[in-house]
Each structure stands twice: as C-alpha cells, then as structure tokens.
C-alpha cells in the first residue's frame, strides 16, 4: 500500500498520472523539472507520456492490479483527462492514495447536466439548458428553449464530438437517436462576441492563482489557435477571476482547471464548460509565463506554493493537427517560435500532434 502523503511532497517522491497522452507527457516533464519521478498508468505501452516517465504501468484505468501497482509507487495521483472511471478514483483512495483533483470535480465534469447545475449554483452563469433522456423529452426541451439549439450527449464527447444542432424542434427526436439514444442536454444558443478561457489553480492551502485570459478560435469543434493575454477590459478580467475562484472553492479543488467562456455583447461572461485538468488553451503559458500551467498543476497537487501567473509576453498558440506536424522545420527556423511536439507515432487526420507558441512581442 502507498505510504501516506505528507505535504509538501518532497523532491524525489513519485507522482502518479492516469493517462499517457500529450497532457500527461507535459505534466511528467514539468514534474521532472521539480525533482519528482512520475509513474504513468495507461492502456498503451508506447504512449507519449510513458516515454518521458520513470515508470509505466500498462493496464486499463479501472484494472485493480494496475491500480494497486500505481498505489504502491505513488502517494499522490492526478490525471490528464476528465473521463477517468469513478471506480479508479475510489480504488486509489481506498488504497490510501491522495487523488487530486478530487472525486467531486470528476463527477461534475463527466455529466454536462450536473456541470451546468453546479455552475449556476456556484454563481457561474451559463446558457439556458434542459436535460432529456428520451426522444420525446428532447422534443419538449427544444420547444421550451426554442430552435435552433445545441444537443450534446451528457457524458463523453470532446473536440466537437457528441453534439449536433437541432434546427427545428420537430427534428429533436431524430437528432437524439443520431447521438446514440443516450441521455443528452440541450443548450440555448449563445450569441457571443468571442470565445475566451481562463486557466486557474487552487493549492492545498486554498490559495487561488489565475492566469490572464486567452482568446480562442475553433474550427469544426477543434481548437486551432489561442492568443494570450487576450485584449479585455479590466472589468472582464475581474469577472473571469471571480468565476474561477467561485468554481475552484465550490469544488474544494486542488490543481489546475480550464474554464471555457463566452463573452457576450454586453460584456457578461457565460461559462461554456469546465475541464478539471490542464487545458489546451493554457499551452501558451509554457512560453508566456514564468510558471506554466503544467508546473502549476504539479505544485498544487504536491502541496507546494503556487507560482506566479503574470504574463511575460503575448503569445499565439497554434495546434498542429495530423500531417501539419511535418511543418515543424518551418517553425523551428523562426526565432520567435517555440515548438512542442508530443511524440505520437501516427499522424491521423485532426489528431493533435503538437503545438507551437509564437512570441508576438512585449505586452
């Protein structure tokens, strides 16, 4: 059984990460800079994160033997994605392991209806929404919200997957079936000016640190580029900081969180969704801040003081999707650009293979 975690966790300790993708890889690299070893639990042996970690346990996330092996190595475990099976967290906690962020954050983020309810109760406004478990309920929800409206599966789905527009209320049952006949949530459209996001962190002592806002641009549901710090009014920045603090404190959160926002015409911010982990829209911090989101997350879960979050430069982050990764020589030749590649073996269409951060000059 794992030794009981004592905070702050000293260098030389081993941190566990559930998930071996690019976020796990960058977390492992940040942990190594602080003197930690990392153990990855991941179904695939040759994952990007495993190749930069001290230990790799190959197994399903809910495999009792794999979880026991992880617990024997690590007093503290975190994760790189929000669809971690709840049973995995329960088993780890039962084995005496600290898991951060905690079970409440996972439960909220894994169900879009629960997420919207939680956000509204925490004082973080969202668009109007209605859950539906049947085709008939979906039609009624579309009538109540008004069409067009957006239908999303309540669980899973990311980068634009698991969602479709309902152009007319009468179309809702067919859209419901097209999404797999699973419980869904319908959302009123947001007539937003632009999409923003805020990356924030909360330490084990309750301290909160918030990064400057990023302005984000998506194509086909996938993030293409972020520019940060976004040009926003001081009131908008303060509004985002309040939302972040309310969400983090209501969750009793430990670690970094990504909060996607809609900026409305009148300046009001609505929360689109939260991600209880480091986030694609925070990659700019690697080259734009003294302490990036990955180191910040490790600091938080290890019980270290949070680092500074102010920006040193304006950065444009561009995702490299699929075969675009082959353009790395072009970006590597640009003195103002920093290349971050994920080490994935196969460049599939739309797959995130890396990103570049282009420094756009002083603030």
**CA dist 10 to 13, 14, 75, 143, 302, Å?**
6, 9, 11, 56, 8
State the 10-residue block means of pLDDT for the chain, 363 residues long.
79 98 98 98 96 98 98 98 94 97 96 97 97 97 96 82 93 97 96 97 98 96 96 97 98 98 96 97 98 98 98 97 98 98 96 97 76
Q: What pLDDT was estimated at residue 3?
A: 59
For β-strands 37-42 and 55-58, DSSP reports them as parallel
Q: For the chain, how long is the longest CA-to-CA vector?
A: 60
Bond before 253 cis per omega within 30 degrees: no
What is the reported pTM?
Answer: 0.95
Going along the chain from its start, the domains and CATH numbers come out as 14-99 (3.40.50.20), 128-187 (3.30.1490.20), 192-359 (3.30.470.20)
Provide the H-helix boundaries in 272-356. Answer: 285-288, 293-301, 328-332
Q: What pLDDT was estimated at residue 1?
A: 46
């Amino acid at each position: 059984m794992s030794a009981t975690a004592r905070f702050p966790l000293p260098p030389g300790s081993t941190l566990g990460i559930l998930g071996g993708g690019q976020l796990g890889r960058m977390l492992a690299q940040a942990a190594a800079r602080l003197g930690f070893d990392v153990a990855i639990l991941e179904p695939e042996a040759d994952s990007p994160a495993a190749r930069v970690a001290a230990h790799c346990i190959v197994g399903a996330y809910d495999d009792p033997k794999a979880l026991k092996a992880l617990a024997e190595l690590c007093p503290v475990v975190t994760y790189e994605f929000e669809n971690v099976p709840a049973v995995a967290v329960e088993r780890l906690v039962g084995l005496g392991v600290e898991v951060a962020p905690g079970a409440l954050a996972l439960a909220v983020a894994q169900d879009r209806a629960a997420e919207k309810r939680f956000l509204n109760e925490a004082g973080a406004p969202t668009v109007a929404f209605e859950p539906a478990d049947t085709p008939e309920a979906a039609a009624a929800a579309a009538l109540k919200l008004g069409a067009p409206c957006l239908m999303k599966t309540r669980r899973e789905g990311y980068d634009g997957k698991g969602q479709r527009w309902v152009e007319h209320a009468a179309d809702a049952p067919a859209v419901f079936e097209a999404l797999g006949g699973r419980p869904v949530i319908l959302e009123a459209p947001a007539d937003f000016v632009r999409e923003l996001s805020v990356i924030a962190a909360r330490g084990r002592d309750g301290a909160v640190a918030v990064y400057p806002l990023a302005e984000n641009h998506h194509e086909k549901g996938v993030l293409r580029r972020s520019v940060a710090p976004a040009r926003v009014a001081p009131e908008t920045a303060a509004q985002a900081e309040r939302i972040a603090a309310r969400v983090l404190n209501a969750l009793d959160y430990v670690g970094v969180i990504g909060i996607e926002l809609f900026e409305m015409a009148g300046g009001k911010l609505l929360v689109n969704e939260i991600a209880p982990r480091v986030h694609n829209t925070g990659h700019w911090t690697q080259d734009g801040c003294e302490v990036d989101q990955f180191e910040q997350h490790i600091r938080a879960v290890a019980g270290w003081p949070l680092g500074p979050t102010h920006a040193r430069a304006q950065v444009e982050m561009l995702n490299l999707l699929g075969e675009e990764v082959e353009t790395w020589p072009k970006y590597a030749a640009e003195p103002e650009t920093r290349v971050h590649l994920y080490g994935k073996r196969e460049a599939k269409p739309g797959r995130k293979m890396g990103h570049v951060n282009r420094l756009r000059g002083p603030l």
